[in-house]
Amino acid sequence: QGSERMLAPVVSSSLTTIAAFSPLLIVGGVIGSILKDIPIIVICVIVASLIECFLILPGHLQQSLNRGHRHDEGKIRQALDRGFLNFRDHVFKPFVGVILKAPALTLITALTLFILSVGLISGGRVKFTFFPSIDGTTLWAGAQFTTGTTPDDVDRFLDHLEKTANAVNDEFGGTVIRHTLMQHRQLSAPGVRGGTGDHYGTLKVMLTSELDGPPNDVVIDAWRQKIQLPGGIEKFSIRQAQGGPPSKPIEIKLTGGNADTLKAASLEIQDRLRRYPGVSNIDDDLPFGAEQLVVRLTPQGRQLNLTSQQLARQLRGAFEGRTLQTFYEDGIEVDVLLSLSESERDRLATLDQLPIVTTSGAIVPLPVVATFESRRGLDELRRTDGQMSIVVSADVNNLIANASEILSDVRTTALPEITAKFGLKSNIQGRAQDREETFADMKVGVLVALTMIYIILAWVFSSYSWPFAVLIAIPLGLTGAISGHWLMGLDLTVLSLFGFFGLSGIVINDSIVLVDTYRRLIDAGEDHMEAIVKASCLRFRAVLVTSLTTIAGLTPILFETSPQAQFLIPMATTIVFGLAYGTVLVLMIVPSVLSLIERNRDRTTHTHLSNSVVQEPVR
C-alpha cells in the first residue's frame, strides 16, 4: 500500500528532476563538452534510484519486518519525537494559519527578497565570472627581446627573474616555490605562440601547491613588483596553466584594413586595457618581426622607366645571388651564383654605392632611383574570410578585477572610437563568446525544462492551476542561491547556473509531496483551508528530512580546499543555500499560493453561479 500510495509523487519528483537536468545536454561549445557528464550521471542515478525504490526496497522492508517485532524506541528517540511534535503542533501549525490569513503579503515578501537578491548582482556585490580560475602548479615567465639582442643579455635577465622569484619565495616563508628551470633561446608557455632564437628566454617555476598557501595571482603580483625590465625587451609575460576553456578572459578580434592599420588599432586597444587594474599579459597574434627597410621609387626613378618589380629583382640578385650557370657534378645539380661578398651584404653602406641598371642600359646609384625607410616588420599575417585580422588578448586577476565588467566598458567606450578611427570591424571572442553561446543554449533549456515540469505536474495533480503553486518556488529559490554566493564571498559562475538547474528540480520535489497530500485530503472531503494546514503539518517532517539530508551531503564540498573541488563549490553553494531557502518557500509560499488559487476559484465559481440565476418577471 505504501508503494502504491507514493508511486505518483515519487515518480513525478524523479521526472521533474530529470526534466530540470535534461536541458543541460543541449548546451554546446566548450562548456557543454566539459560539463555534459553532470546531467548524464544525475539522470542515470535517478533512474537507478527509481528501480531500487519500487522493485528492491519493498522486498527488503518486507523481509526485515517479517523477521521480528519492531524494537521499542529509546528515550532519546522518544524525546526527539516529542520535541518535534510539540514544535509542529504548537509553533508551525499556528504559523501556517497566520500566513494563510494574508497569503498575498507572504508572496509579496518573498518577491521583495528576490528583488533585493537580484540587486546584489546589479549593484556589483555579487559578480559574475564565466568560469572559475583554478590555480595551476607551474608558472612561465617568458621574455622576447628585439632581434639582434645577444644571448648574454637574455641570460642576465633570466638570472634576474630567478633571483626575484626566490626573493618572493622567501617572503612567503619558503613554501611557495619548489624549484625553477631556465629555458634558454626559446619561448614556451600555455596560450603563447612559441619561438626559438637568441632573443628568447623562459623561466619555468614549479610551485609547491600548498592548500593553505597564497593564491597564484598574489604570488605573480608580488613577483612583478620586484622585476625590473631591461632595455630592448619587447614582450614579457607571466602565465600559468589553468583548468577550463582554453580561451582567455579577454579576446577582441579586429578585421578589415591592412596589416599596418590593424597593428596600430591593436596597440591602441592594448594601451586602453593597461589602464584597468588587474589586467596583464596583454598581447596580440600579429607580433613584430625583424627590422626591415622599405624601398620606394623616387620620381627620377620613374622617369627612367624603372618599376618596383625591376628594382626588387636587382636588389634580390645582389644580396641573395643570381644564377649564372647550372652544371652537374657526379650526378648532383650545382648552381653558380653571382652576388655581393658576405662583408658587403652585412653593411648598410653598401646600399649607397649599389649600381642599378635602368631599362636603357644606363647605370645609376641606388639612392638616385630609390628611398629607404626603416620599419618593424610582422612575423606573420592572418586572414579571416579573406580579410586581414588580429586578436588582442589579455589575462585578468579575478582577485582585483572582473573580466565581464572590463569587456562591457571596453565595448561601450574604447572599441567604437578605435574601430571608427581606423575603419575596422570588431567582435568579442574567447570566454566572452563562450559565455554568450552558453547563455543562448541555457535560455532555450529553461523554457524546455519549465514546459516539461509543468506537463508532469499537471498530469500528477490533474489540475492546470495547482502546478503554478509549485513552479513559483523555482525563480524565488534564486534568492537563496544568490545570497549564498554573497555570504561565501564567491562569484557567480556557469557552474552556479548548472546548479540552479539542479536546484529547480530538487526544490519542487518537496512541493509535489505537499500538494499531492493536499489533493488527497480534498478528495476525502476536507475544507480547502483546513486541508492546506493539515497537509503542511503532515509533510513537515518529510520536507525537513529531505532538505536536511541533501544539504548535509553537499555541505562538505563548500569547505573543501583541494584545487579539484574549486569547480564544484559554486554549484554546491547554489544547491545548499537555494535548498535551505527553498525549504522555507515550500512551507510558506506553496500554502499561500494554494490559498490564493482556491480563493480565486471560489470567487470565480460564486460569480458564475450568481450570473446564471434566472429571476422571475414581476407581474
Tens-digit pLDDT profile for residues 185-239:
888 777 666 678 888 899 999 888 765 678 888 888 889 889 998 888 888 888 8
- Burial 46-55, CB ≥16 within 10 A → b, else e: beeebeebee
| Region(s) of the chain under CATH 3.30.70.1430 | 135-241
Q: What is the pLDDT of residue 242?
A: 65
- Comparing 295-304, 384-393, 533-542, the range with the smallest average pLDDT is 384-393
Pairing status of strand 425-429 against strand 288-297: unpaired
Q: Could you read off the pLDDT of 22-75 as tens digits, one per residue?
A: 888 888 777 777 778 888 888 898 889 888 887 887 777 777 666 655 556 677
Cell of 156: 642576465
Coil, helix or strand for 278? coil
Stretch (H or E) spanning 395: strand 387-396
Topology given in CATH for the domain delimited by 135-241 = Alpha-Beta Plaits (3.30.70)
Q: What percentage of the chain reaches a pLDDT higher than 70?
A: 89
Topology given in CATH for the domain delimited by 2-68+75-130+450-604 = Multidrug efflux transporter AcrB transmembrane fold (1.20.1640)
| Region(s) of the chain under CATH 3.30.2090.10 | 290-378
For residues 454 and 511, what is the distance between their CA atoms, to the nearest angstrom? 13
Q: How many other C-beta atoms lie within 10 A of the C-beta of residue 417?
A: 11
| Region(s) of the chain under CATH 1.20.1640.10 | 2-68+75-130+450-604
CATH class of 290-378: alpha beta
Q: What is the pLDDT of residue 617?
A: 47
Whether the predicted model's global pTM rises above the 0.75 cut = no
For residues 189 and 182, what is the distance between their CA atoms, to the nearest angstrom? 13
Coil, helix or strand for 313? helix
Q: Could you read off the pLDDT of 326-340 as tens digits, one per residue?
A: 888 777 888 888 888
Average pLDDT, whole number, for the chain?
82
Q: Could you read off the pLDDT of 368-377 as tens digits, one per residue?
A: 888 887 776 6
Q: Could you read off the pLDDT of 479-537 as tens digits, one per residue?
A: 999 999 999 888 888 888 888 888 887 778 778 878 888 888 888 888 888 888 898 88
Where residue 618 falls (left for φ over 0; alpha for ψ -120 to 50; beta otherwise) is beta
For residues 154 and 141, what is the distance between their CA atoms, to the nearest angstrom? 13
